[in-house]
Structure 1
Amino acid sequence: MLKMNQLVVGMLLFLSSLFSCQQKGDFESMNVEDFDTLIQDEGMQRLDVRTLAEYSEGHIAKTININVMDDSFSSMADSLLQKDRPVAVYCRSGKRSKKAAAILSKKGYKVFELDKGFNSWQEAGKEIEK
């Protein structure tokens, strides 16, 4: 069952990459529904790039927090993330996550970014953790 789920997710990722419009860097921006579907895959790494204060106020479940504005973002990402697993990244509104996605994709990560950020996640009524 797990292999079938991985196969389905892999096919979805492949097909979505064929039809998506790319941002600067080699990553894909996604709407809330597509992002939500994507992160259901247990192999997906979830990354919140907001400040610790923002993260503490609420975040998507099972995410790690690395502030993209911190000078050590790149080295922290390399120590906490695995390059052989895709990364789903978000911030508050989508600006910082695009910056993080560009940095990570240049380092060799496969990256998916929540286009309008955590704000759009909350507006869609999606579940959050505090």
Structure 2
Amino acid sequence: MEDLTHEEWSEQLAKDKKAVIIDVRTDEEVADGIIPNAIHIDIYRGQDFIDALEELDKSKNYYVYCRSGNRSGQACRIMEELGFKHAYNLEGGILEWQGDIVDID
């Protein structure tokens, strides 16, 4: 796992052809908007969260965020334990995000 600032996360994400964005916030938080193309997997769903992660392609690079960076850091550590090689935590979470945010469909 690597903690990245908003700037590092954005730059790396823009160049990464194997990038997948994961939002680990709650449904209520996601209702306020989501980073475009992010997959929503609520970390508070326990085993369902683990099951959803295990369905993901471990050869991809995962850019993970939450509200403030704490839960996404936990999610990245869980991903590492599950065998993911590249998980990047957005320091400061969506509170520090300066890019686009869209409503979830």
The two structures share one fold, judged by TM-score above 0.5: yes
Q: Deviations along 1:46-74, whole A, 9 cap, x unmatched?
A: 10000122112111110000011111111
Alignment partner of 1:129 is 2:102: yes
Map residues 1-130 of structure 1 onto 2, 5 A cutoff.
27-40=1-14, 41-71=16-46, 72-79=48-55, 81-109=56-84, 110-121=86-97, 125-130=98-103
Partner of 1:5: none
What do residues 58-104 of structure 1 show as CA deviations (whole Å, max 9, x unaligned)? Answer: 1111000001111111111112x210111100000011001101000
Task: Point out 4+ residue stretches in structure 1 off by more than 6 angstroms.
Answer: none
Q: 1:76 to 1:107 in 2, by over 3 A?
A: same
Q: What is the rounded CA distance, in whole Å, between the counterparts of 1:58 and 1:74 in structure 2?
A: 23
Instruction: After TM superposition, give the deviation of residue 126 of structure 1 in Å.
Output: 1.7
Q: How many residues align?
A: 100
Structure number having the greater helix percentage: 1
Specify the code of the residue in structure 2 equivalent to 1:32: H
- Residues of 1 paired with 2:77 and 2:3: CA distance? 11
The structure whose residues are more often strand, as a share, is: 2
Q: How big is the alpha-carbon RMSD for the aligned residues of Structure 1 and Structure 2?
A: 1.0
1:21 counterpart residue number:
none
Q: Which has the larger radius of gyration?
A: 1
Gaps of 5+ in 2: none
Structure number with the bigger relative contact order (C-alpha 8 A, sep ≥ 6) is 2
- Inter-partner Cα distance in structure 1 for 2:60 and 2:18: 6
Q: Structure 1: which 5+ runs fail to align?
A: 1-26
